[in-house]
Amino acid sequence: MPTPRTALLATTAALAAAVVAPLPTASAAVPAPGAYYVQSATTGLNAADNGGAVEQHRPKGNEDRQQWTPRASGSSYVLESTDTAGSCLGRSGDQARTVACTSGDAAWDVTELGADQYRLKVPGAERYLTVGAKPSGSNYPVQLAIGSASGLAAWYLTPVTGATSPMPPQNQRTLDQVTFLTSHNAYANGVDGGFAPPFVNLAPNQSRGINQQLSDGVRGFMLDIHQTSDGAILCHNSCTLVSNPVALWVDIQRIVDFLKQNPNEFVTVFLEDYVDPGVLRSELARVNGLSDVLYRPDQTGVRQNGWPKLADLIAANDRLLILTDHSRSADQSAGLTRDTFGVMYQREWTVENYWSMGSGVGSSDWSCYSRWYDANTNIPLTHTESAFRPLFVMNHFRDVPITSTASTDNTKLADRAQRFCQPAARKKPNFLAVDHYNLGNAASAVTTLNTYVYP
C-alpha cells in the first residue's frame, strides 16, 4: 500500500506558471442551464462555501457546498449556491465571499478563454476570481481571492451532471474510453506467496491469486516491488521477514502467458517501484515473450494523436502496458531511464487520485483529488493536453483492507466514480482500483462505466 504523502500546494509563482491563460474572446460565455462546479484550471480543486468564505476545497460531490447555478443578471451572471437559495458566489474587497444574489458584488462577467476554461470578471473592473496565496502545510481549504488576470484566474465550469454519449462499438473504442477492473496490491493475496511480515500477512488486499484474478476479468494490476539480492521482489513496504516472496518476473510471466492464450485481451501493470532501473530491466528480461506483447505509447504518436483504438492495439499485439511511479529525473541521474526498455513513467501518461479513503473501519472520505499535487509537483486530475488525455486511475480503498469494509465500499464504487471522481477529473475513470475485487461486485461498476463516453 502506498505511503501517505503530505499534500502541499505549490507556490503561487509555480501555480501561475502551470497555466498559461490564453487571451479571452470578445464574446461572453453563456453557460447552459444547470448546476456547476467552479473548478480551478490550475489545481483542479473546487470553490466551496464555508460559512460565507469561498475557499478552494477538494472535490467532494454534493457533500461540501461546492455546487453553483449560473443565472443571467442583466448582461452579467450570478452563481447561486444550490445549498442556500439567494446566496451567491461573490466578493468582499479582495476576498471571495458568499453574498446576497441581489448584491452588486454577486455579479460576474463570464468570459471564455478557450480549452473549456473561463474567467470570472468583476463587471467594469480588471479584477478576477483567482486562487489566492498558497496555504501552509496540508491545509487544502484556501480562501479564494479577487486579483489579476493571471493563470490562477482560469476556471472550469464543470457540470454537476455531465452529458454522456453511448459507448462506440467494440471495434471503435479508444483506450481512454474504456474502464478496466483493477486490483490494488494484486500480489498481496495470500495465495501466490508471502508478501509481508507474518502479522501483516493476516490482512491481504486480495484473496485470489494472479491467475484467478485474470480469469475473473481483472485487467489492471498494482504491484509493489522492492530490491533484494534476488532482484525485484513483490512485497509490502519491505521484504524483511517475508516468507516465500514472489519475484516480479513470475507475476509478469503469468500475465504474458494469459495474453498469449487470450489474444483479444489488454492488461495494464502499475509498479510502485523501489528498485534500480538496471535491476528492473534484468528482471523483465527473464519474462519469456514480453517483447511480443509490450505496448510502447511513447513510440506510436499517442501524445500527438491521442490514444489508439483498443481493437488496433489488439490487432498489433500491443497488449501489455507497464507503468512505474518512479521518478524520471532520478533515473536520469542514475544513467538509465525505464522507458528505454519499455516501462512508461506513470505521471507522463496518467492522472491518479489520492489513494486512501481513510482507515479500515467507519465512514470514508469520498473526496477525489490528485495524488500528485505537492510542493514540487502539480498534476491535477483535470490535466489534459491539446491532443492527449491522460488515462485516469481511480483509487477506491482504505488504509487497511478489511473484507467487510471493502465489500461495502465496492458496492458504492459506481456511485463514487460517477458523482465524485468523474466531475473532479473531468474524465471517466479508466482503472477502478479496489481491494477484494470479488466482494461487493466491483465488476458491475466497470460494466456500468463501459456503457457510455464522458464528456
Q: Which helix (H) or strand (E) holds 423?
A: helix 422-425
Q: Return the bridge partners of 381, or none.
A: none
pLDDT grade for 8, boundaries at 50, 70 and 90: very low
Q: pLDDT confidence of 5, banded at 50, 70, 90?
A: very low
| Span 309-363, pLDDT tens digits | 999 999 999 999 999 999 999 999 989 999 999 999 999 999 999 999 999 898 8
The answer to whether 91 touches 105, Cβ cutoff 8 Å, is: yes
Whether the pLDDT of residue 20 is over 50: the answer is no
Q: Is the pLDDT of residue 9 over 60?
A: no
| CB 226, CB 195: distance < 8 Å | no
Residue with cell string 470578471: 121
Confidence of residue 28 (pLDDT cuts 50, 70, 90): low
- What domains can be seen in the chain, in order of their start residue? 36-159 (2.80.10.50), 165-453 (3.20.20.190)
At 373, the pLDDT band (50, 70, 90 cuts) reads confident
Residue 386's pLDDT is 86
Q: Does residue 213 contact residue 221 with C-beta atoms inside 8 Å?
A: yes
CA separation for the pair 246, 193 (Å, rounded): 6
Distance of alpha carbon 361 from alpha carbon 342, whole angstroms: 39
Return d(Cα 94, Cα 301) in angstroms, integer: 45
Over pLDDT 70: what percentage of the chain? 91
Cα–Cα distance for residue pair 360/368, rounded to 1 Å: 18
Torsion of CA 399, 404, 406, 409, to 10 degrees: -110
Model confidence at 27: pLDDT above 80: no
What secondary structure letter does DSSP report for 370? B
Please state, in angstroms and as integers, the Cα–Cα distance from residue 413 to each residue in 25, 253, 349, following that order. Answer: 40, 30, 23
DSSP 216-278: TT--EEEEEEEEETTEEEE-SS--TT-SSBEEHHHHHHHHHHHHHH-TT--EEEEEEEES-HH
pLDDT at 362: 87
Quick one: pLDDT at residue 363?
87
Of 116 and 256, which is predicted with more confidence? Answer: 256
Query: Does residue 7 register a pLDDT over 60?
Result: no
Tell whether the model's pLDDT for residue 3 goes beyond 60: no
Cα dihedral 161→165→166→170 (10° resolution): -120
pLDDT of residue 18: 38
Determine the Cα–Cα distance for residues 7 and 390; give it in Å rounded to an integer: 21
d(CA 82, CA 250): 53
